[in-house]
Amino acid sequence: MKTIEVNKIDVGYANELIIKNLSISIPSNKITTIIGPNGCGKSTLIKTIARILNVKGGAVFLEGEEIHKVDTKEIAKRMAILPQTAEAPGGLTVYELISYGRFPYKKGMGSLRKEDYEYINWAVDVTGLTEVQNRAISALSGGQRQRVWIAMALAQGTDTLVLDEPTTYLDLAHQLDILLLLERLNKEEGRTIIMVLHDLNHASRFSHYMIAMRDGEVVTDGTPEEVMTCANLQQVFQIDAHLARCPHSANPICLSYQLCQAEKASACCSINSASKAYHQTASG
Amino acid sequence: MNEQEELKEVKKTVRPIRGVIILTGGSLLLLLSLMLAVSLGAADIQLKTVWQAIFQFDPDLQQHQIIREIRFPRILGAAIVGSCFAVSGALMQGMTRNPLADSGLLGLNAGAVFMLACCFAFFPDLPYLYMILFSFLGAALGAGIVYGVGSLSKNGLTPIRLVLAGAAVSALLGALSEGIALYYEIGQDLAFWYAGGISGTSWNHLQIITPWLLLALAVAMTLSHSITLLSLGEEVAVGLGTKTGRVKLTASIIIVILAGLAVSVVGAVSFVGLIVPHIVRWFMGYDYRWIIPGTIIYGALLVVLADLAARIISPPHEMPIGALIALLGVPFFLYLARKGGGMV
């Protein structure tokens, strides 16, 4: 079952196409992560999936319907998005911002109904914001703010969540905190999550499905096991990666890396002894 | 624990209650200032006489005549102008997330005056109804040029850059208007439009303006929720299912209509659209479903009081209200600009 089908899309600004003839399917009820170097088009792809950008050719289908043609409010009931640089007016309270997630369900000036309050309260609760729900957003830390935006997206009550670099600008603990929240939403509620991440190890640890892009094209896609190989990372990021096993998910992670130099390439391409040593110290 | 829960309950309901109080309070203040404005002026008139002029009108009494034919239209004109500028400012600030947006600062007013100057020069007998249309066109022209000039810069449209473009374009359009005025010898007709003065307002003007005003304000109210979402950022608004293109286009038309109406009555008065939305937000929060009605009332209040002050500071001479409001507006602008143009 595929939630989103991207069918031969062309996307770009002015005369310059960033993405040409790209097709990809995104599975339902899974966490999908798009990775790739700066300027590879991953943000463009996710913005197109989120209908922030228009296609110049091809089409994106959400549950079989063409996303740029269906009423945008209807889409907003099925797919919530969290843009990369979401910034709210500082004086808005947490609860107020989260309540805007119910906009797609409102008619005219209509005020919130009981069902809306239930969704909002649930979103506040599940993101652990109960304590701060009446504070001004300006009084929150970066990690809490990101939770507020996620809560707003959750209040939309959609099956699909699209997030563009949800962990950027957060410190290590807060990054993990956000990803664990997303993982929980996927596991417990079966939500489809599509996101762009910069951190390969996070991508590998939390995703069911990965898409690696370079120069506006999908280089490879599949499970973390299939995507996180030395050869792929070399092709996508031009790095020589030392891979190891994540002690938490058992998926491959990148322990350290060198910039690629053509003649030395593939010297270290395997989940090598370094990782074994790592595992021994980790378990012992 | 109990205390904390109580606190939550209170706060959750605080915004609507506060909003209602502030709107009601504002309406009362506005009513009071309207009455004051009618009774005070070059000829002081007792409130009792005002009352009589409304309910027991006697056409032979000069005071009743003054009240009915001069003060009422002028004061209503002031209130309308205030609401127009303030709401157009609020819409601009919310829609573009630019805390420094104001129809005066972004060239709409200068554009409208320029078109009015052209009207005077080329179609001197044009009825007021058509002049308003030219005023709309002028406001759109001003905004168009400012955004055009602003987007030429490589690093995109920042609030300050837009204000700079607005200043440059306003200066240019102002100079052109003056040139036209000099060349066609219509300086007298235009004079009060530069400085800002409401003394010329007549019932006839108000009759023509009112339908536009009501329509524009009604549309502004229906847009208010979408404007709130746009103030969270374009991408967030799209994600929540806002038809951003349609909302922005409609809001732009409303902004141009409101600014054009106000300029056709009072001339190029800046800063009302800057100050009022900020003050209203300070009291009522960031939801434009509250901000729009708030700016309607408090915008009217500001200009009615400014017009009153303009009349009573040195009678029988009148100060230009544009100058009076600038006395408030300039420090306010400097404060906002220094603050780095925080979020709207």
Q: Mark whether A113 and A147 lie in a shared domain.
A: yes
A155-175: average pLDDT: 90
* Tokens at B268, concatenated: 């190029």
**Minimum CA–CA partner of A73 in chain B:** B241
Q: Mark whether A232 and A220 lie in a shared domain.
A: no
Kindly determine whether residue B344 and residue A89, on different chains, have CB atoms separated by under 8 Å.
Answer: yes
Q: Mark whether A267 and A150 lie in a shared domain.
A: no
Q: Mark whether A236 and A108 lie in a shared domain.
A: no
Q: Is residue A177 part of a domain?
A: no
Residue A278's pLDDT is: 47
Share of chain A above pLDDT 70, in %: 90
Structurally, chain A folds into a number of domains equal to 3
Domain CATH code at residue A63:
3.40.50.300
Burial A183-207 (b: 16+ CB within 10 A, else e): bebbeeeebbbbbbbebbbbbbbbb
Give the tens place of pLDDT for each residue, B57-71: 888 888 888 888 888
Give the tens place of pLDDT for each residue, A129-156: 999 888 888 888 888 888 899 999 999 9
* Tokens at B75, concatenated: 């004061």
Q: Mark whether A146 and A109 lie in a shared domain.
A: yes
Reported confidence tier of residue B155, pLDDT bands at 50, 70, 90: low
Q: Mark whether A167 and A150 lie in a shared domain.
A: no
Residue B254's pLDDT is: 96
Q: Mark whether A20 and A50 lie in a shared domain.
A: yes
Q: Is residue A271 part of a domain?
A: yes
Helix axes B288-312, B72-96, angle to 10 degrees: 140
Chain A residues with CB-CB distance to B93 below 8 A? none
- Provide the terminal-to-terminal Cα distance of chain B, rounded to the nearest Å: 34
Say which residue the tokens 């240019």 belong to.
Answer: B172
Q: Mark whether A91 and A132 lie in a shared domain.
A: yes
ipTM here: 0.84
Residue A281's pLDDT is: 47
A211-238: average pLDDT: 92
Q: Which domain holds residue A49?
A: 1-71+162-172+184-224
Residue B237's pLDDT is: 93
**pTM, full prediction:** 0.86
Class of residue A67 by CB neighbours under 10 A (exposed 0-12, middle 13-18, buried 19+): buried
Q: Is residue A55 part of a domain?
A: yes
Cα separation, A80 vs A162, in Å, equals: 6
* Tokens at B199, concatenated: 């003394």
Residue B15's pLDDT is: 62
Look at residue A269 and tell me whether its pLDDT is greater than 70.
Answer: no
Kindly determine whether residue B12 and residue A95, on different chains, have CB atoms separated by under 8 Å.
Answer: yes
Q: Is residue A277 part of a domain?
A: yes
**A50, A85, A134: residue with CB nearest B12:** A134
Give the tens place of pLDDT for each residue, A91-104: 788 998 999 999 99
* Least reliable range by pLDDT among A278-282, B71-75, B141-145, B176-180: A278-282
Q: Is residue A179 part of a domain?
A: no
Q: Mark whether A123 and A67 lie in a shared domain.
A: no
Q: Is residue A21 part of a domain?
A: yes
Look at residue A85 and tell me whether its pLDDT is greater than 80.
Answer: no
Give the tens place of pLDDT for each residue, B8-62: 443 444 467 888 899 999 999 999 999 888 888 766 777 778 778 888 888 888 8
**Minimum CA–CA partner of A106 in chain B:** B225
Residues of A near B (CB-CB distance < 8 A)? 47, 50-52, 71-77, 80-83, 85-93, 95-97, 100-101, 103-104, 106, 108-109, 133-134, 153, 156, 162
The strand ranges marked E within chain A are: 2-13, 16-27, 31-35, 57-62, 65-66, 79-82, 160-164, 192-196, 209-214, 217-222, 239-245, 252-259
Q: Mark whether A142 and A276 lie in a shared domain.
A: no
User: Higher pLDDT residue, B55 or A213?
Assistant: A213
Q: Mark whether A239 and A133 lie in a shared domain.
A: no
Q: Set out the domains of chain B in order of their start, with CATH numbers.
A: 76-338 (1.10.3470.10)
Look at residue B122 and tell me whether its pLDDT is greater than 50.
Answer: yes
Q: Mark whether A64 and A121 lie in a shared domain.
A: no
Look at residue B84 and tell me whether its pLDDT is greater than 90.
Answer: yes
Look at residue B221 and tell me whether its pLDDT is greater than 70.
Answer: yes
